Structure formats: structure tokens, C-alpha cells
């Protein structure tokens, strides 16, 4: 791919500038080559650690090789957005806990729009550039790319941890057909710590690897069984949508700084909803109360299932 009249270094500077000016807090760039650890996904799937997330088996070739996602890809530009705010979970046992990532507006729409605009601008400036946006739902192993692009390291809790922001960051990116200057992969600063492994109430974590089928986040968001499996019912610790325990205990999150993205600031109705009240939420009320929030992904029926499971198990607050 020949982009006329501009060199690699200038292009790199321009794209970095656009990502940061577009409201992202970090940017990192990696060459679009196959990543060593990407194949670990195959064993993970074979071992059934994806539970009922059968969509994780779709387009596995693309998850293993970015060139199956965008054949002419030369570079992967990773962007991270801080979503931390200075609020805490309620320890009142009559209240439910909703994961921080879902306190404000849905990041998928926010990040996708930002990245699409940047891609469009790049195409207008330099006709000939092709690219594809990804955020969460595309078959791209975003965490591995974020580590490769130097945004942060893959922690033992299987989240990307940035030295500047901790792990309260969303990821998204652009696969591009141009060559750019690349960042160094991130260094692992977990050291001897194992706080996340010890704190996980369901035993979902092994260092650097998760059994999603045991994770409260999966059990309360992705799992569409009528009942939460019995072995986990009394382990939810009041989490009714998602779970943040393995991030809350991470020392790298102690210095998290509140985000300037106002749309991630909590809707007061999402922080500590009353469990009894939630059981009476009609489908219509649920859609109204959580309009624009990731909580809608759980669907009314399963959200109520989560609330009732917590109530049944005696509201054990974490």
C-alpha cells in the first residue's frame, strides 16, 4: 500500500494524535502479525471454558490471525478509554451490585462511533488507506493486541492493566492497511501478587487464564439458563450484573483516576438498586430504567433471575 507524500513517522503521529484528541486516554500500535499467545484460545474453547458463549467459536481463524479479519492489514492501532469514576459499591445487603462498566452509557456505541470517525478522517486525508474498526464484538483478541501495542499487560485476572489507569479501561481498535511505527509490548507487573486469584469467589481464575463458565460476569450476563447453576447460587455476593471483585482487589487499581468521559459517570439508579424493588420491575420498566446501559444485554428475564438468586441465597454482601 503506497500512501503518497507522507512518511511512516508522520502518519503514526497523525493517527496517535487523532485517537487522543478523539477522547481516548491511551493509544498503542502493533504490527499486524500473528501473536504468539493467540493459539491458546483454541485449547480454551476445546476445554469448554467459554460456557454457552458459542459466538466465541465463530470466526476463530480471524481471532487467531488479524489478516483473516482484514486481509491487507499491516498495523493494529489499539485505543483505551478510562471508565473509572470515584464511586463505590454499596455494602448494604439489601442492594444489588452492578459492575462499574455498566454504571453509565454503553461503551460499545461510544467507542465504535469515535473510531469510525477517525477511520473516515484518515481515509479522507489519505485516499488508499483501508481499515476496519473493532470493539468487543468483532472476532479480534483485543487484550492480546492491547498488550502487544504496549497499552498494558495482561494481568493474572486476565484483564489488561495500564500503569496509568489500572484495569478500568475499555478497549477498541483499528486494523489498517498502512505500515506505521510500532510500540514495545507491555511489561508484566503482576510479580508475585495473586490477590485476584484468591479473591474470586467461584474459582474462575488461574494465573492469566479464566474459566468463563465459572465467572459471575458470565453467569449473570451471558448465561441464559433459567437458573444460575446451583454450585454458584450462594457465591454471587450481591452481584446482579457483572462482577468486579478481581479488579477491586488489584493493587494497580488503587490509583485509578476518574474519567473525563461524562457518559461513563453513573446513573444514580444503576449503582445500588434495591433488590426487593428490582423483583417487581416489569419488562417495560427494566427497559426504561436501563435505557442506553449495557445492563440491557442481560434481558429482563435473566436480570430478574439474578436478583432472585441473590435474594434466595441470603444477600451475602462481599
With respect to ligand SF4, which residue has the nearer C-beta, 126 or 208? 208
Tell me how crowded residue 198 is: count the other CB atoms within 10 A of its CB: 10
Q: For residue 42, what are the contacts with CB-CB under 8 A and spacing of at least 6?
A: 60, 64
Any idea which residue has 464484538 for its cell?
137
Q: Which of 24, 69, 84, 101 binds ligand B12 (CB under 6 A)?
A: 101
Cα 133 to Cα 109: distance, rounded to the nearest angstrom? 12
| 8 A C-beta contact, residue 167 and residue 178 | no
Q: Which of 24, 69, 103, 170 binds ligand B12 (CB under 6 A)?
A: 170
Catalytic residue, from 86, 106, 136, 226: name it. 136
| Grid cell digits, residue 28 | 498503542
Query: In the complex, what is the shortest distance from the CB of residue 158 to ligand B12, in angstroms, rounded to a whole number?
Result: 4
Cα 170 to Cα 24: distance, rounded to the nearest angstrom? 10
Q: Which of 66, 119, 190, 210 binds ligand B12 (CB under 6 A)?
A: 210
* Strands annotated E in 197-303: 205-206, 209-210, 239-241
With respect to ligand B12, which residue has the nearer C-beta, 157 or 177? 157
Please choose, out of 1-9, 27-35, 150-158, 304-312, the segment that lies near ligand SF4 by the rule CB under 6 A. Answer: 150-158
Query: In the complex, what is the shortest distance from the CB of residue 44 to ligand SF4, in angstroms, rounded to a whole number?
Result: 14
List for the chain the helix, strand, coil content (%; round to 5).
Answer: 40, 15, 45
Strands 153-154 and 205-206 turn out to be unpaired
- Decide if residue 311 touches ligand SF4 (CB under 6 A): no
With respect to ligand B12, which residue has the nearer C-beta, 3 or 63? 63
Is 136 assigned a catalytic role? Answer: yes
Q: Which of 150, 155, 172, 294 binds ligand SF4 (CB under 6 A)?
A: 155
With respect to ligand SF4, which residue has the nearer C-beta, 22 or 251? 251
Q: Which of 75, 85, 89, 159 binds ligand B12 (CB under 6 A)?
A: 159
- Decide if residue 136 touches ligand B12 (CB under 6 A): yes
How far apart are the two ends of the chain, measured CA to CA in Å?
54
Q: Which residues are catalytic?
A: 136
Amino acid at each position: 500500500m503506497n500512501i503518497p507524500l507522507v512518511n511512516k513517522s508522520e502518519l503514526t503521529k497523525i493517527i496517535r494524535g487523532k485517537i487522543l484528541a478523539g477522547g481516548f486516554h491511551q493509544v498503542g500500535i502493533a504490527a499486524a502479525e500473528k501473536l504468539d499467545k493467540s493459539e491458546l484460545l483454541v485449547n480454551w474453547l476445546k476445554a469448554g471454558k467459554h460456557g454457552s458463549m458459542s459466538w466465541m467459536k465463530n470466526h476463530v481463524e480471524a481471532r487467531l490471525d488479524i489478516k483473516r479479519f482484514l486481509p491487507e492489514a499491516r498495523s493494529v492501532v489499539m485505543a483505551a478509554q478510562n471508565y473509572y469514576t470515584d464511586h463505590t459499591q454499596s455494602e448494604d445487603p439489601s442492594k444489588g451490585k452492578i459492575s462499574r462498566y455498566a454504571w453509565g452509557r454503553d461503551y460499545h456505541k461510544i467507542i465504535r462511533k469515535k473510531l469510525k470517525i477517525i477511520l473516515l478522517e484518515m481515509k479522507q486525508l489519505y485516499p488508499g488507506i483501508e481499515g476496519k474498526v473493532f470493539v468487543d464484538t468483532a472476532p479480534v483478541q483485543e487484550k492480546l493486541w492491547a498488550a502487544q501495542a504496549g497499552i498494558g499487560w495482561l494481568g493474572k485476572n486476565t484483564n489488561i492493566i495500564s500503569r496509568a489507569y489500572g484495569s478500568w479501561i475499555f478497549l477498541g481498535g483499528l486494523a489498517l492497511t498502512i505500515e506505521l511505527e510500532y510500540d514495545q509490548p507491555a511489561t508484566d507487573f503482576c510479580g508475585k501478587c495473586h490477590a485476584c486469584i484468591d479473591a474470586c469467589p467461584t474459582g474462575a481464575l488461574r494465573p492469566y487464564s479464566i474459566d468463563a463458565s465459572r465467572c459471575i460476569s458470565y453467569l449473570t450476563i451471558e448465561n441464559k439458563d433459567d437458573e444460575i447453576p446451583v454450585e454458584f447460587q450462594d457465591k454471587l455476593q450481591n452481584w446482579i450484573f457483572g462482577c468486579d471483585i478481581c479488579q477491586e482487589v488489584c493493587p494497580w487499581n488503587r490509583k485509578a483516576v476518574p474519567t473525563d468521559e461524562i457518559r461513563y459517570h453513573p446513573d444514580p439508579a444503576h449503582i445500588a438498586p434495591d433488590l426487593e424493588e428490582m423483583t417487581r420491575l416489569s419488562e417495560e420498566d427494566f427497559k426504561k430504567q436501563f435505557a442506553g446501559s449495557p445492563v440491557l444485554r442481560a434481558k429482563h428475564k435473566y436480570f430478574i433471575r439474578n436478583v432472585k438468586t441473590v435474594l434466595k441465597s441470603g444477600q451475602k454482601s462481599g
